[in-house]
Structure formats: C-alpha cells, structure tokens
Structure 1
Amino acid sequence: MGKIGRVACIFTPYLLTIASLICLLLVGLGCTKKSDNNLNNLYFFRANLQNFTTSSSTTSEISQLLSEAGVSTTNLTALLEEAEEDTDLKDFYSIGLWGYCDGSISNGTYNTTACTSPKAEFYFNPITVWGLNSSSSTEDVLPSSLTKAIKVYRDVSKWMFVAYIIAFCATLAEIVLGVFAICSRWGSCVVTLVSSVSLLFTTAASVTATALFATLTGTFNSALKDYGITGSMGKHIYIATWLAVAFSLAASLFWSFSTCCCSGRSPYSHRDGRNTRGGITAEKAPYTYEPIDHQAHPAAVNPNTAYPPAATTSYGRSAPVNNTRSNAYEPFRHVEA
C-alpha cells in the first residue's frame, strides 16, 4: 500500500505539469502554420490595415499633432502610399513568438495566406515589413512615441523569448524527473526545485508578454489610428500562457507536498521481519513458548505431583476436591517450530 499511495501522491502534480507543458507548446506554435486557423488565432498582437487610408492625414489637426511630434506628414503619407503600391500591404499582420502571419480579411473572416519561418528572438519591425525603409531617414518617418515603443519591444522580446524557452525546458525536465519522484522523497525534493524554476520563468515570460504588448498596442493605436491602422491583443494565447502559470503553480505546490507525505514505505515491513502495527499478531518464530492447558493435561504440569486423596464425609461419600492452583503463573512448555 505504501508504493500505491506514493504513486497516487505523484499522479496529481505529474498531470498538472503535463498540462502546463501543453499550454507552453500552444504559445510556441502560434502563428507558425498558415493552413491551421487554430494556431493562427494564437497571436500576441495583430495589426489591422484593412481600413488603411491617407486622406485624413491632410487635416490641419493631424498635421499639427504630427509636426509637434517631429514627424513629417508628407513623408509618412508618401511612404505609406508607396508601400501599399509596391509591397502589397496585407489586411492584417498577426505576431507570434517565432514569427508572424499575414493575410486578407473578407466579411470579417481572417484568411491567412503566408507565415514566416520560425526565428529565434523574433520581433516585428513594421518599418521593414511594410517597406518604409526606402527613405534614408526612417527614424523620422514614424511618430517618436511609436519608434521608442518598437525599440523597447525589440529589446524586451529577446528576454521574453529566452524566458519561454527556459520555462519549456524546465517543465520538460520536471516531467522526466517526476518518474523518479515515485521512488523516494529525495526524488520529490529534486523535482520541486526544478518545478520552482519552471514556475519562475513561466510567470516571468507571461508577465513580460502581457505588459509588453499591452503597451505596444496602446502606442500603436494612438500613433496610427488616423491612418486607419489599428492594433489589438490576442485572447487565446494569453489564456494559454496564464493557464500554464496556473498549472505550474499548482504542480509546484503538490510536488512540495509530496516531499513530506507518502514516503512510499510499506507499513508491514520491518527489519526484524515481524509486524506489530494495527494490532496484527506476527507469525510465531522458532523456539517460542505456548501455555499448557493443565485441565486437559494435568500430568504435563508436573508428573510427579501427588494429588491429595479425596476427603470423605460422614455419610461415606467423597467430597469434591478443589484442584484450583494457588500459583498465579501459568506454566509454559518449549515448542520448536
């Protein structure tokens, strides 16, 4: 029963760890295959250019705002128009961990037509992707707030990518080492340490992704909404990454619990080979003693003992003899097993 209890104690955190690994896999597979709409819906950020226009950029209000930001309205408008003609701007761009996908929008349906090859430490650069780098002064093309946000996104996205990779590797190692945790509490202790690393980096990556793309979305909309370009955060990928955190946290708690409970030792095993727990009598060992039933075998107590004669009454009848032993200790005889 000890081993069975140990297996049952390890089973719960093991399943939670597998669930966390599956969620991390979903995050990594987002925007990697154009033919799979489910994976294409796993994106951190999406830029929508379906309603792209340059007509509103000529108003005095927009021109004043852009001039205050140090941006030439004419240059940005010209570059966007040129990019639309030369590079065939797509209706949307969905950004994942390894790359991005683009496509067209028809009746509210997003149809993915292409996805980039997976690349480590990927970040989405709209200046390059949209073909705005034909000008020598690309730094002055976009509003300064968006330019700064893109630079921050470029630097932080590298850390985010590394955090996800470490979280994935630690979770995978947690699953492998979890098998050895069935054997002893020391195994659970090792798995608990690995689980803590997995929880730390899974949480750090999720927090970084959420904060980073929330900031990027806000800046993106405020800088380019007048051109009909909007940005939005995904939903499914954030559900997946935060579920990974929840599963990892629960698994870490259960792994810690397994280090102090369910040792795996059988309650019926002892060094001397005998069992004294639960009121269960152990088997008789060799050279033990058992009590003698002196009533069934009176001579076995002491064959040389002479019993006193029976007393007689005045009528000639024998009175009953009291054979009750005065000795408080019951004799035992030696029995060889």
Structure 2
Amino acid sequence: MVNCMTLFSAAFLSFAAVILACVACAGSTKNYNPINQIFQAQLDFTNLKVSEVLSDLSSSLSSLDDLGLPSYINVGLWSYCVGNSSKTITSCTSPSGIQQFNLQEVIYDNIDNNQAAQLITSVAQVALPDKLQNNLTYYNNLVKCSFITLIIGIVASGVNFIANVLRWVLHFAFVTWVCRFLSLIAFLSLIISAGTSTGTYVYIKKALASTYDTYGIKMSLGLNFYALVWASVAAALLNLLFLSVVRSKRYAYVRPIEEKPLV
C-alpha cells in the first residue's frame, strides 16, 4: 500500500512539474490573461531620458510619445509583450526562437515614429550601459542555456510521467531505475534553467539600476514566471525523492505456518 501511494505521488509530482514548466515557457507568447502576465523581466521606459539614450535625435523628439515607444516591455522566453503607461498589455510579438536580451534592438524595433526611425538608422547611436553592451554575448549565452535546459526539463518530466505510470504495471527493477534516471535529468535541467535565468536577470537589473540616473531605464523581475519555474523545480525534486524510496517489486508477506506438536 505504501509503495502504491509513493508511486502515485511521484507520478502526480512529475505531471505537476511538466505543467508548471510549460506554463512558464508559454509566457508572453499571446496577448491574453494569464499568459501575457508571465515574463522573465519587465523593462520600464516611463522615465527614459531620450536625450541620453538617443543622443543624436533632434530636440523635438524628447518623450516616449514623440518616439512612439511603449512604456513597458515584458521579456519572455520566446517573445515579448509591450504595454502602455497603465501597464495594460497592447500587443505581443510572435514566438521566434530563443529570445535574446538586446536593449538596442528592442528600442529600434519599438519606435513607432518614421522620422525617429530614419534618424536612428542613418545617424543615431543608442547609448546604453557599458556593462550590458560589453557582456551582451555572455548574457545571451546564459539566456540560451536557460531556454534549452527548460525544454530538456519539460521533455524529461513528460517522459518520466509516462514511465511512472508504466511502473504501476511493470514491477521490474529496470523500469524503476529508468524512472529515477529521468527524474534526475528533469530536476537538474529545471534547476539549471531556473538558476541561470534568475542570476542573469538579477545581474542585468543591478546593472540598469546603477545607471538609472543617466538613462532612466529600470528593470523588474517577473514574479509569476519565477514562481512557476521554481515550483516546477520543487516538484521535480520531490518526484526524485519519492522515486528513490520506491521498491522495485511487490513483496508479499508470508506468514509461517506454526507446526502443532504431536500428541
């Protein structure tokens, strides 16, 4: 009975890890709740100092409205969403592979003013924190690592759930060890993904905070995304722990027959 409950708990936890990770992965791919509220980081441009960031633009273009820039940009794994001053999401880009963090490209892509766009293309250089520009390749490699390991974690957790269900029927040591191996891969992949994503965006947030007075760009972390991805890590860890105590075969207790003394 205990072995059966342990197997059921392990299967439930592996299924929970898959669902939680999938929802996190789907964040900011569509403009509807709650998907558009799931993102790794949010860029706040409400106090953007246009004269510093876009130093070569004419003085007549001095605000977000003049440039047509959104007030907020929510950065997801596959795409990003843009929002107005009230933080209402107005649109999301289509998923296009691994979303790289590139402030310069984000600003270029979201300027909705023909005059400003032409000036930027031909003349202006976007001045942004050196910490970000100098280490952009390094940051994006970490973002790729987070994305790839999250996908591996989702796949491993899904296959592990199927193996856990099969284990209810097939009481072999080999099946049990396959379940344990898959659960280990799922846990390691998910925790690497969560760790690299959290660490990368915390560092970028600090870099932007140190130059906020100069550029007026602020970043905050997406709590919904990190709650989901770290919850999937916890589910994967518990799944691994439950599987580590599962017995490979059913054992039946045989009560010895007491011999009656001969009279």
- TM-score between both structures, scaled by the size of structure 2: 0.83
Question: Offset of 1:217 from its aligned partner?
Answer: 0.9
Find the partner of 1:114 among 91, 97, 102: 91
Higher helix proportion:
2
Find the partner of 1:174 among 160, 163, 166: 160
Higher RCO (C-alpha under 8 Å, 6+ residues apart):
2
Which residue number in structure 1 is paired with residue 121 of structure 2?
Answer: 134
> 1-side partners of 2:255 and 2:59: how far apart?
85
When residues 79 and 41 of structure 1 are mapped into structure 2, their CA distance, relative to the original with a 3 A threshold, is farther
The answer to whether the 8 Å contact 2:79/2:95 transfers is yes
Rg larger for: 1
> 2-side partners of 1:135 and 1:216: how far apart?
29
Instruction: Spell out the pairing of 1:218-237 with structure 2 (5 A cutoff).
Output: 218-237=206-225
The answer to whether the 8 Å contact 1:206/1:242 transfers is yes
When residues 52 and 82 of structure 1 are mapped into structure 2, their CA distance, relative to the original with a 3 A threshold, is closer
> 2-side partners of 1:42 and 1:256: how far apart?
33
Q: CA RMSD in A?
A: 3.0
> 2-side partners of 1:176 and 1:87: how far apart?
52
When residues 225 and 177 of structure 1 are mapped into structure 2, their CA distance, relative to the original with a 3 A threshold, is farther
Instruction: Spell out the pairing of 1:1-337 with structure 2 (5 A cutoff).
Output: 6-36=3-33, 38-54=34-50, 74-75=55-56, 81=61, 84=64, 88-106=68-86, 110-131=87-108, 134-135=121-122, 138=125, 141-182=127-168, 183-184=170-171, 185-258=173-246, 261=247, 263-267=249-253, 277-279=254-256
The answer to whether the 8 Å contact 2:176/2:248 transfers is no
> 2-side partners of 1:153 and 1:123: how far apart?
9
> 1-side partners of 2:210 and 2:102: how far apart?
18
Tell me, what secondary structure is at the counterpart of 2:85?
strand
- Identical amino acids, percent of aligned pairs: 23
- Structure 1: stretches of 5+ with no match in the other structure: 58-71, 268-276, 282-328, 331-337
Amino acid at match of 1:116: T
> 1-side partners of 2:91 and 2:250: how far apart?
54
Question: Offset of 1:5 from its aligned partner?
Answer: 5.1
- TM-score between both structures, scaled by the size of structure 1: 0.66
Task: Say how many residue pairs are matched.
Answer: 251
The answer to whether the 8 Å contact 2:50/2:62 transfers is no
- Structure 2: stretches of 5+ with no match in the other structure: 109-116
The answer to whether the 8 Å contact 1:150/1:216 transfers is no
Which residue number in structure 1 is paired with residue 113 of structure 2?
Answer: none
After superposing the two structures, state which structure 1 stretch, 84-93 or 202-211, moved more: 84-93
